[in-house]
Structure 1
Amino acid sequence: MARVKLTPTDWKDLEGGLEREWLLTNGLGGWASASIFGANTRRYHGLLVAAEKIPTERTTLLSKINEELVINDVVYPLDVNEWSNEVAEPRGDQYLKQFIQNYWSVEFHYEVGNYRLVKMVWMANGYNATYIRYRLEGAEQGDKLELRLHPLITRKNYHDEARANLEMRWYCDILENNAGFKYYRKEPGLPLQIRFENEKGWSVTQTGYWLYNFHHRAELERGLDHLEDLFEPQVYVVELKPGKSAGLVASLGEAPEEDFEVSLKNQQHRMLGIQSFSKLDEFGKCLAAAGDQFIVARPSVEQVLKPGGKDRTIIAGYHWFTDWGRDTMIALPGLTLSGGRFGEASAILRTFTAYLSEGMLPNRFPDKEEKLEYNTVDATLWFFQAIYDYYQATTDSKLVSDLYPNLEEIIQWHLRGTRYSIRVDPDDGLLHAGEPGTQLTWMDVKIGDLIVTPRHGKPVSINALWCNALGIMNYFRRELNLKTTQTYDTLYDKTRRSFLGKFWNKEGGYLFDVIESEDASAPNINSLKRDSSIRPNQLFAISLPFSPYANLETEELVNQAKSIINVCERELLTPYGLRTLNRNDPRYKTRFTGNQVQRDVAYHNGTVWSWLMGAFVEAHLRVFKDKKAARNYLLQFQSCLKEGGIGTINEVFDAEPPHRPLGCIAQAWSVSEIMRLWRLVNE
C-alpha cells in the first residue's frame, strides 16, 4: 500500500532528490533515513541508527551501503555520494525511476538496461534492526547479473561526525553457517551484526578501507562540521536472477529470529491493525502512518505501571529531538486519540505523571545520564488539556480519578509559586512566569546568555492555558463528583475577567502577547509594559475548551474573537501554518537559513510552524462555525507530503514563498495537529 509515490518529474534534478528525505522508525527511538538518492545529506542519516538506551543514546552503526548492479562485467552504480568538494560521485540518481513511501517500508525502483531492480527497506518494530531486500524484475536474457554491496560502518553518537582513526581496529566475527558478520571494537556495547537473507550464493571480499570526506550539505548550511569518514570492512557480492530476491538485515546485537517475509508481514499487520486505520481516507492514513513513528517505548520509573507494562512516550521530532514534555502533551491527542490508540495514550499520561516535580512536568529528557530539565511553564498546563481530551475520547473515569490529586497538587504549586518565578498573582489571578536566563514558553531559543524571545511576565498563551486548566478542574469535579481540596469556580472567574480586561489591545484589534512584561524592549502602554507584537500565541485564548473566549456570551466578545482571528489570518497565516511574527515587525525574518545563530534568531521571529494551524483552525471553527472553510485550510498539507520529509510534515517552513520545508524532517506536533484537525473537520 503506497503512501506517497515520487517519479523524476517530482524531484526534477539532483538538488531536488537530495532535498527529499525518507524516514523509517522502530518504536524504540531509532531509525533508518537518508535522501531518496541514497546520499547522506546530514550527520543524522544512516541505515541503522540504534537507541542504545531506549529511547535515547542513539548510535549510528550502518551509515549506508554503496550499491552496484553489474551486468556482464559492466558496473552501474545505483547510489549517490557527495564529497568535500561538493561534487556528487557516482551519479546513480540517473537510474532511479520511482521512489515509494509505503505505510511500513520504502521502495526504490531502478531501471538499468532491460532490468528493473527494486530495493525495499523496513525496520522491525521493537528491534534495532533494518532489513534491506533487492528483487530483480525482467525477462531472463542470458546476462550475467551481480549485485555488489559496499557496507560503510561506524560507531558514533548521532550528533557527531565520524573521523577516521587508523589506530582503532575493527574486529569481525563470522556468523554460524556463514550467514553474515559481526563488526565490533574493543569497547563496551553490542556489535553491529549483518546477516544475509539466504547465506547461499553470497561471496565476500575483505577490504578494510577508510573512505574520507563525505559531505553533509545540511550541516554545512547550518554552519556546522559537515565532513565524515566511514569504514568499509568488506564487499558482498550475490548473483541475481529475474524474479528472485536477495537481502540482508543489519542489527544491534542479535537480529530478530523471523525470516524476511515474516518480518515484512508483521510490519504490515501491525500498521493495518491500528484501530480505525482501515476507516481513514488516504490523507488520514498517511497522517496516521507518519504519526506512528513518534510513539516509542520509555522504561518506567518507580514502577508506575505494572512490571512488563508497555510504557510509552512521544519523540518530539526526527532526527535530533528526544521526548519533550510540552511536545508530548500537545501531540498526544492527535497521535493517539485520533487513531483510537487509547491504551498508549493512558500509558503516556501515567508515564509522565511519574516525573512531576514541584508541580511541573519536565521540559526535556536528556540523551545521557543527566538531570531532567524543568524549564517550561506550559508543558504542565498542556498536561491538563491532554487528560481532558483523553476523557472526552474514552470516558475513562478511573484514569482521571487516579490523576486528579496530581492535578490538584499542580494547581497548589502554581498558586504558592514554583521554579523560575512561576506563580499566580493574587491580585488578578493571572500566571506570571520567567526570570533572567530562563526560557519557559514554547518560544524557547537561548543563544549563550541571550533569550531571543524571553516573554517574561504574563504571556497570553500561558494565561489562556492557566484559565483552561482551572476550567478543566471544575469540569472534572462536577462530571465525576470528585472530592477536592477547594472549588475552582472563583479562581476561574477571576482569571477570566482579568484576562479579558487586560490582554485586549483595542487599538490593534488583537491580544497583547505579554502583559506586565519584563522585556525592556516591550512598548510602554498605559503605565504597563505590554508587548504588542502580533504573534500566533493569542489564538489559544479562543481554541482551548475553557479558554477566556470559549464562552462568547456577549456581542462584544464575539466581535473581539472575530477580530483576533482576522488579524492572525491577515498577518500570520500561510498554506503550511502560521508565521511567528508579523511582516511589519523590525525583528521579522523571511528565511530560516544561515548558521546556527542566524537560524535561532529566525526560529520564532517569522518562521512558519505547522502545529499552530491547530489553534487557528479550531478557533476559526469555534467562532465562524464553517467546517468547509476550516477544511480548506488543511488541503495544502497533502502536497507537502512530497517535499522535505517524505510522507510526513516538517518542523518549520520559511516565512515567505515558496515556504521551503526546514528544521526536523518529521515533527510530532506538526503531524499530530493536522491529523487531529483532519478528523475534526471530516466528522
Structure 2
Amino acid sequence: MTNLEESLRRELLRTNRSGAYACSTIVDCNTRKYHGLLVVPVPELDDENHVLLSSLDVTVVQHGAEFNLGLHKYQGNNYSPKGHKYIREFDCDKVPTTIYRVGGVVLKKEVVFQHYEDRILLRYTLVDGHSATTLRFRPFMAFRSVRQFTHENSTASRAYDEVDNGIRTCMYAGYPYLYMQFSKKNEFIFNPDWYRGIEYPKEQERGYASNEDLYVPGYFEMPIKKGESIVFSASTSEIKTGKLSKLFEEEVESRAPRDNFFHCLVNAAHQFHIREKNDDRYLLAGYPWFKCRARDTFISLPGLTLAIDEQDYFEFVMKTASKALREFMAGKPVTGKIYEIDQPDVPLWAIWSIQQYAKFAGKERCTEMYGQLLEEIIHYIIDGNHPNLRLDDNGLLYSDGRDKAITWMNSTAYGRPVVPRSGYIVEFNALWYNALKFCASIASGNGREREAADLEELAKVCGESFVGTFLNEYGYLYDYVDGNMVDWSVRPNMIFPVAFDYSPLSKEQKRSVLDICTRELLTPKGLRSLSPKSGGYNPMYVGPQTQRDYAYHQGTAWPWLGGFYMEACLKLYKNTRLSFIERQMVGYEDEMNYHALGSISELFDGNPPFHGRGAMSFAMNVAEVLRSIKLLALQYTYQK
C-alpha cells in the first residue's frame, strides 16, 4: 500500500446498480478524470456521468498535531499530503476496509455504495487512541462531466445551506444539490479555496489533458472516542442522520463476499446492472466510460445472469432490450437507453442469447417467452428490412462496412474504420447459420413443421455457401469476403462457428480452425485480435488516442473471445481438455488483484507480460469467464 508504483495501479470500483459509482485507487489517490467518490448520472444535463464529490480528505488531530490521511498527485510528480504512509492494512473481501495508524491512533475506514440510491457511505471507527482525538473532513468537489475538467473560476457558487448534521451545496445551475452529512453532530468551518494543479497520470498516459483544480468549501470537525464509529454520507438527497449507522450495517450485511475467484466475478457481474426509475433494466458495457450497448448486452447477458443462476434478471434485461429491438425493426424511434442497436449483427446476437436461455430454462419456457420475438427477427432479416443486412441467393448475409465500422472490431481513425470488414463477414454468417437451425428447432418443437422445414432448407444453402466462401486451403477461415477482396488475416472471429451449437463446419474442419487459433491467437488473457504472423500486428495498446486506435484490434488479446475458444475446446475434445482449460482460467484469476480489484479489464496487450488496458471493468469479459466456469462445471457433472 505504501509503494505507489504498486498501489496506484490497483483501482476500486463500487456501484449502486442504477448508473452511479464510486471509484479511485486503493490508496484514495485519483488517477483518472473518471475517478470520484460520488459519480452520478445527471439526466437533466446530458447522458454522461458527473463527478460531484471527487474525494474526502481525513485529518487526525491529536495534541494540536495534524496528520492528513489524504493523497493527491500534483504537477511535477509531487504527492501531497502523502497519507498513504499511514496505511497499515487493506482488505476488500466484503467491503473495502483500510486501517490507518498514526502514532497511537488506529483508525478504520469502511466504504459501501447504497444500492439503487445515489449515496456513498463511509464509516470511520477509532479502533485505538490513548488521548483526545479529533477528526477533520475536507471535501474536494468537482461538479463536472467525467469527460471534462474543472478549473478555478468565479462562476462556481460558494453558497451552502445547513442540513441535519451537515450541509448541502451546488456549484453550478442545473446540477442537483450535494448533501454531505454525518451520523454525529459536527462543526462546519466555511473556508473556501481551490486546490490547483491536481494531476491524473492515467490521462497523461492516454495522451489527454490531465490537470484540474478542485473546490473545497471548508471542513467538518468533530471529536471521536475510542471504539466510536462515525458514518459520512454524500448524496443527491437528504437523509435523517439518525438512520445512517443502521443503514450502513444493512448495506454491509447485504454484500456478498469477494473471498474467491468466482465470488469476485459474481460481484463484478452485479456492478453492470442498471435499474432505471421506470424499472427498465440494462447491462452497462463497462466502467468507467461505456454506456449500454446493444451488441455487448446480448453477448454479456447469458454469462452475467444464467451462468450465476439469475434467470429472472435475464428476463428483466431481455424485456427492455427486446422492446428496443422491436422499435428499431419497426422503424420507430428507440425509446430505451440502448445504443448502437442499428448494428447489423445485433439481431443475430439476440438470437444467440435467447438460445443460451433455452439451454438453461428449457425450450418450452423459451418458446413461451421469446418464440414470437425469434420469429420476428428471422423474418425481418429474410425480408431484407435491415438497412445494412442483405440476404443473398447463396444464403449468406452481406453487410457494407467499408466506410463505417459495423462489427465488434469498431475502432476508427480519422473517421474511417481501422479494420474495414465488409461483405460476407465470417461471424455474421456463423451467427446466421446457427440462428436458422435454432429457430427451426423451436418451430418444430412448437408444431410449425412447414416453417421449420423452410428454415432448415435455408440453413442448408447457407451452410454449403459458408464452407465454400470462408474455408481456405490452409485450414482456417477468411475473416471476410467482398467480391474479389478476400481477407487472409488470421483473426479470432473464425472461432465462433467452432463454438456455436450449430455449425456448417465438419468435425475435422473445426479441429483445423481451433488448432490455428491455439497456435497463433491464444494467450493467457484470451484470443489475440490478429495473429503475429499477419501484416499490421500491433499488440501493445499504449500511447495517445490515434496510436491506441490502430492497436485496438490489431493484436490485443480479449478474454471474451477466450470464452468462445474454451467452449469450442469442450465441444470438440470434451474431458481431454479439462485440465488445459482450467490452466487457462488461472490467467484470469490473477487479474482479481490488478486494475479494478475483482473484475477484468477491457483488453490486454497481445505480447507478454499481457498488461491489462482500456476500461477497468468490461462486461463481455466477465460474462464469458463466468460462462466458461459454468461450462466446466457442467462438463464435470457429465463426467460423473
**TM-score using structure 2 length:** 0.93
Measured after TM superposition, the shift of residue 258 of structure 1 is 7.8
- C-alpha change, 1:257 and 1:481, in structure 2 (3 Å) is farther
User: 75, 83, 86: which one pairs with 1:84?
Assistant: 75
Letter in 2 for 1:292: H
The alignment status of 1:546 with 2:502, answered yes or no, reads yes
Matched residue SS, 1:412: helix
User: 21, 29, 36: which one pairs with 2:11?
Assistant: 21
1:35 corresponding residue in structure 2: 25
Q: Deviations over 1:617-640 (max 9, x none)?
A: 000111111322222211221111
**Distance (whole Å) between structure 1 residues aligned to residue 114 and residue 619 of structure 2:** 21
2:585 corresponding residue in structure 1: 634
1:187 corresponding residue in structure 2: 173
Matched residue SS, 2:621: helix
**Distance (whole Å) between structure 1 residues aligned to residue 532 and residue 331 of structure 2:** 34
2:265 corresponding residue in structure 1: 287
**Distance (whole Å) between structure 2 residues aligned to residue 362 and residue 628 of structure 1:** 50
1:438 corresponding residue in structure 2: 404
Q: Deviations over 1:557-586 (max 9, x none)?
A: 322212211211111111111111111223
**Distance (whole Å) between structure 2 residues aligned to residue 461 and residue 255 of structure 1:** 51
Matched residue SS, 1:511: coil
Letter in 2 for 1:644: H
Letter in 2 for 1:14: L
Contact 1:543/1:618 (<8 A) preserved: yes
Task: Name stretches of at least 5 consecutive residues in structure 1 with no aligned partner.
Answer: 1-7, 301-309, 518-527, 550-556
Letter in 2 for 1:477: A
Q: Which moved more, 1:596-605 or 1:632-641?
A: 632-641
- C-alpha change, 1:362 and 1:34, in structure 2 (3 Å) is farther
Contact 1:362/1:376 (<8 A) preserved: no
Contact 2:17/2:272 (<8 A) preserved: yes
Contact 2:121/2:234 (<8 A) preserved: yes
Q: Deviations over 1:414-436 (max 9, x none)?
A: 2233445311111x111111244
Calculate percent identity across the aligned residue pairs: 29
The count of residues paired between Structure 1 and Structure 2 equals 629
- C-alpha change, 1:99 and 1:475, in structure 2 (3 Å) is farther
Measured after TM superposition, the shift of residue 648 of structure 1 is 0.7
Matched residue SS, 2:433: helix
**Distance (whole Å) between structure 1 residues aligned to residue 489 and residue 502 of structure 2:** 24
Matched residue SS, 1:634: helix
Letter in 1 for 2:323: A
Measured after TM superposition, the shift of residue 64 of structure 1 is 0.5
Q: 1:443-462, aligned counterparts within 5 Å?
A: 443-462=409-428
2:220 corresponding residue in structure 1: 236
Contact 2:357/2:366 (<8 A) preserved: no
2:208 corresponding residue in structure 1: 224
Contact 1:22/1:645 (<8 A) preserved: yes
1:333 corresponding residue in structure 2: 302
- C-alpha change, 1:672 and 1:261, in structure 2 (3 Å) is farther
1:172 corresponding residue in structure 2: 160
Measured after TM superposition, the shift of residue 439 of structure 1 is 1.1
Q: Which moved more, 1:612-621 or 1:52-61?
A: 52-61
Contact 1:376/1:439 (<8 A) preserved: no
Contact 1:47/1:64 (<8 A) preserved: yes
Contact 1:362/1:373 (<8 A) preserved: no
- C-alpha change, 1:291 and 1:91, in structure 2 (3 Å) is same
Letter in 1 for 2:286: G
Task: Name stretches of at least 5 consecutive residues in structure 2 with no aligned partner.
Answer: 635-640
Q: Which moved more, 1:119-128 or 1:448-457?
A: 448-457
- C-alpha change, 1:281 and 1:218, in structure 2 (3 Å) is closer
Letter in 2 for 1:570: R
1:585 corresponding residue in structure 2: 534
The alignment status of 1:406 with 2:373, answered yes or no, reads yes
Contact 1:580/1:605 (<8 A) preserved: yes
1:129 corresponding residue in structure 2: 119
2:638 corresponding residue in structure 1: none
Matched residue SS, 1:27: coil
Contact 2:600/2:618 (<8 A) preserved: yes
Contact 1:331/1:673 (<8 A) preserved: yes
Contact 1:48/1:129 (<8 A) preserved: yes
- C-alpha change, 1:43 and 1:163, in structure 2 (3 Å) is same
Measured after TM superposition, the shift of residue 193 of structure 1 is 0.4
1:516 corresponding residue in structure 2: 482
Q: Deviations over 1:190-219 (max 9, x none)?
A: 2000110122xx222111111111101111
Contact 2:166/2:188 (<8 A) preserved: no
**TM-score using structure 1 length:** 0.87
Letter in 2 for 1:226: S
**Distance (whole Å) between structure 2 residues aligned to residue 240 and residue 396 of structure 1:** 61
Measured after TM superposition, the shift of residue 180 of structure 1 is 0.9
Matched residue SS, 1:386: helix
User: 135, 139, 148: which one pairs with 1:147?
Assistant: 135
Q: CA RMSD in A?
A: 2.5
Q: Deviations over 1:67-120 (max 9, x none)?
A: 2222322222222211122322222222222222234x3112222223322111
User: 373, 378, 383: which one pairs with 2:345?
Assistant: 378
Measured after TM superposition, the shift of residue 168 of structure 1 is 2.8
**Distance (whole Å) between structure 2 residues aligned to residue 350 and residue 79 of structure 1:** 45
- C-alpha change, 1:430 and 1:363, in structure 2 (3 Å) is farther
Letter in 1 for 2:142: T
Q: 1:94-493, aligned counterparts within 5 Å?
A: 94-103=85-94, 105-138=95-128, 140-141=129-130, 143-176=131-164, 179-185=165-171, 187-199=173-185, 202-255=186-239, 259-272=243-256, 282-298=260-276, 310-356=279-325, 357=327, 359=329, 373-395=340-362, 397=364, 400-426=367-393, 428-481=394-447, 487-493=454-460
**Distance (whole Å) between structure 2 residues aligned to residue 484 and residue 232 of structure 1:** 71
**Distance (whole Å) between structure 1 residues aligned to residue 245 and residue 230 of structure 2:** 12
- C-alpha change, 1:632 and 1:458, in structure 2 (3 Å) is same
User: 52, 55, 61: which one pairs with 1:61?
Assistant: 52
Matched residue SS, 1:434: coil
**Distance (whole Å) between structure 1 residues aligned to residue 524 and residue 59 of structure 2:** 41
Letter in 1 for 2:396: L
Measured after TM superposition, the shift of residue 488 of structure 1 is 0.8
Measured after TM superposition, the shift of residue 359 of structure 1 is 3.6
